[in-house]
Structures are given as C-alpha cells and as structure tokens.
Homo-oligomer: A and B are copies of this chain.
C-alpha cells in the first residue's frame, strides 16, 4: 500500500528540489503534506516566489506516526543554519527528524539533508550522499562522494540535480 509522506521545506527552499518530489508524488498517487520549517506557512523559494505550505514543522512534532516517510527539501536557508540553529523551527526540525529516524521510518533528502540526519543522531554508520561543502562536518554517518545513495531506510542525493537518480528509488519504496 502506498505510503504517506511528510515533506519539510526550509525558507527559502529550492523550488526545483521541492517540486521534483511533489510532482512525482502527485503523478504517482502518493499522499503527502508539506510542512514549512518556519513560523508560518508562507515561505519563499530561492528564486523569490511566495508559496503556501500545508502546515508548519511545529505541528508535525507529535504527529509523526501519521506518516511513513520524511523528505527534507533543502534551500538557501541552510548556509545560515548554524547561526539560526537556536530558533524554534530549527529545534523542531531536528526533533522531528530524530523521531522519524528512531521509529525506523523512511528518511529522504538532498544537499544538506544528510548533514541534518547526522546532526539529529539517526544516521550512525549509514552511507549518505550530500553536498560536498558539508561533507567534512558529518560525524557518525559515512559521508560519500556519490550522487545518490540508498542505505537501509536512508535515501539521499548530493544536490537537486541528482534527484533525477533518487526519485525512481524513492517511488519504488513508497509504492511498496
């Protein structure tokens, strides 16, 4: 039976990456809900377009059991992650990632996603694809130079461009 996916969209989010997941899920009949990693559902793309998500990350906290998979959609919010890490939406982001990981649900993401999975402490010993700039910051996971890696319940890609390789793998497991 098709699974239900929670998608985390940072602010600003890379629209190409976000909609690469969303349109693929839509076309394949996979249920999803988009949560802004922000205080409100009004966020922007890197390219400056305003969009409305379904909900905010604060409301995903405690509702993780409604979903089978978590997607992290990266964006230009991330280069400033370390200086904003204390903000409620970023604390919620890591809490939610940890809960999905602890429950053994599917963990999907590109670009800086792999580093967040490592920071949340859920990816120990797992091989991940992620942006080369953040590779050295990874502590307990195994940061690779690959474009796309599937390791257990972890589905990661190096960048938006590499979602081309990741999406077919993601669709396969979500349709099981």
Contacts and interface: CB of A to CB of B under 8 A. Distances in A.
A26 B14 CA distance: 10
Nearest to A27: B46
B26 A48 contact: yes
A42 to B, nearest CB: 9
A19 B25 contact: no
A45 B16 contact: no
Interface string A10-33: 000011101110111111000000
B16 A20 contact: yes
16 contacts: A14-B19, A16-B16, A16-B20, A18-B19, A19-B45, A19-B49, A22-B45, A22-B47, A22-B49, A23-B45, A26-B46, A26-B47, A26-B48, A27-B46, A34-B49, A50-B52
